[in-house]
Structure 1
Amino acid sequence: MVPDELWERIEPLLPVQQRNFRYPGRKRLPDRQVLCGILFVLYTAIPWEFLPQELGFGSGMTCWRRLAEWHAAGVWQQLHEILLAELHAADQLDWSKAVIDGSHVRAMKGGPKTGPSPVDRARTGSKHHVITDGAGAPLAITLTGGNRHDVTQLIPLVDAVPPVRGKVGRPRRRPKLLYADRAYNFDVYRQRVRAKGITPHIARRGAAHGSGLGVHRWVVERTIALLHWFRRLRVRWEIRDDIHEAFMTLACAIICYRRLNPRSFC
């Protein structure tokens, strides 16, 4: 499940654990096997306690601890930035525009960054907020409660786009244009986007359909569909928000990796 090309990018990012030779304890399971278990849960949404150990992944608790440990060390964010830099170097990022949108998911067990959803009969849920380049590559993603308005994440998402290297000169971070739907239709936010040197193209509430902005905005909806192709992200099962965010960032990195390697089985 972990191609050699992807593992070569991940392995240098993993923190090195020094073994206590006086009290060595049980030998630590190889990181690559644990990563396979994490990906198995991400793809299938199987509960951690039901992770099949006969496949060599180790126990579900081992994989859970390692996922949290690597997320705290910034491994997934670094991996995402490395892959964005490779896409940039290969001229596969469209910086002429960016697109932003959000999607609601059920939160079955509650926890931080959840809330009563206004679109799901006040059931507890969360929102995935995504900003992509003009071709649909995920640049940044955030998590909020299901009762948070989409526009509250407009500026945080723009600021969350990392400086993307890969070419000679200053890292690229800002698109020229920003497209969004009617949920982001607030003049104060248009002004804040312009202050960052980005021209906003936001559909106005009450305007007739057929404005033409959908020609540009559909890519973010496709990216959200790709994120929810990972079954663990269709419904939030994690009480801890950092574990769910770890899955979100890892999924974004895998989507970028697939753009670099379209025939990969990862």
Structure 2
Amino acid sequence: MGRGAWSWIVPDGLWEIAKLLIPPSKVRPQGDGTQDTPDETLFAAIIYVLVSGCAWRALPPCFGISKSTAHRRFLIWSRAGVWGRLHEAVLHRLDDAGLIDVTRVVLDTAHVRAKKGANSQARAPWTGASRVPRCTSCRTRTDCPSSSASRPATPTTAKG
């Protein structure tokens, strides 16, 4: 691919490494749909999104695939472990060529799973939502629970 149609986004040799790691695509059960997009094109589109940082919906039309196709294949390949194995394969190639020194390594937090279980119920006092929604259309009505006229005085609103 390095000298092919997608050489402007995929570096030389990367497609040759990646194509061995990509699982074969499965026929989707929707029937007579569109022809399966070549993996090479999908790989280039995914690399474009990952490198540029654009949203999937902003995928340029030059790839000739829909954003949902590119995103779905990205998810399939992610679940199959393609990106981690590609990373390792590239590192091994660089090491074999003597182009990288792996004796000193830095861990990128993008590769470390985020811890779950933080207390999402606790709120900082300045971000707590009011239990009563504000209503601007019924300020003069006292029977409306959202009316500012019917609110009891609080330490911040009481005059004294």
Q: Deviations over 1:208-261 (max 9, x none)?
A: xxxxxxxxxxxxxxxxxxxxxxxxxxxxxxxxxxxxxxxxxxxxxxxxxxxxxx
Residues 22, 82 of structure 2: 8 Å contact kept: yes
Match for 2:33 among 25, 37, 44? Answer: 25
Q: For 1:30 and 1:39, how far apart are their aligned partners in 2?
A: 14
Identity %: 32
> Any residues of structure 2 matched to 1:5-16 within 5 Å, and which?
5-16=13-24
Q: Deviations over 1:180-220 (max 9, x none)?
A: xxxxxxxxxxxxxxxxxxxxxxxxxxxxxxxxxxxxxxxxx
Residues 34, 57 of structure 1: 8 Å contact kept: no
Give the AA of the match of 1:71.
S
Q: Normalized per residue, which structure has more helix?
A: 1
Q: Deviations over 1:38-86 (max 9, x none)?
A: 1222233222223222x02411111111111001111111111111111
> Any residues of structure 2 matched to 1:1-266 within 5 Å, and which?
1-19=9-27, 23-53=31-61, 55-100=62-107, 129=109, 141-144=111-114
Q: Which runs of 5+ in 2 are unaligned?
A: 1-8, 119-160
**What number of residue pairs does the alignment pair up?**
108
1:57–1:41: structure 2 CA closer, same or farther, 3 Å change rule? Answer: farther
1:129–1:19: structure 2 CA closer, same or farther, 3 Å change rule? Answer: closer
Give the AA of the match of 1:14.
I
2:121 counterpart residue number: none
Q: Deviations over 1:157-187 (max 9, x none)?
A: xxxxxxxxxxxxxxxxxxxxxxxxxxxxxxx
Q: Which runs of 5+ in 1 are unaligned?
A: 101-127, 131-140, 149-266
TM-score (norm 1): 0.35
Structure showing greater radius of gyration is 2
RMSD: 2.9
Q: Which fold has the larger relative contact order, with Cα–Cα distance below 8 Å and residues 6 or more apart in sequence?
A: 1
Q: Normalized per residue, which structure has more strand?
A: 1
Q: For 1:24 and 1:50, how far apart are their aligned partners in 2?
A: 27
TM-score (norm 2): 0.55
Give the AA of the match of 1:142.
V
CA apart distance, 1:32: 1.5
Q: For 1:45 and 1:20, how far apart are their aligned partners in 2?
A: 29
Residues 21, 85 of structure 2: 8 Å contact kept: yes
CA apart distance, 1:88: 2.0
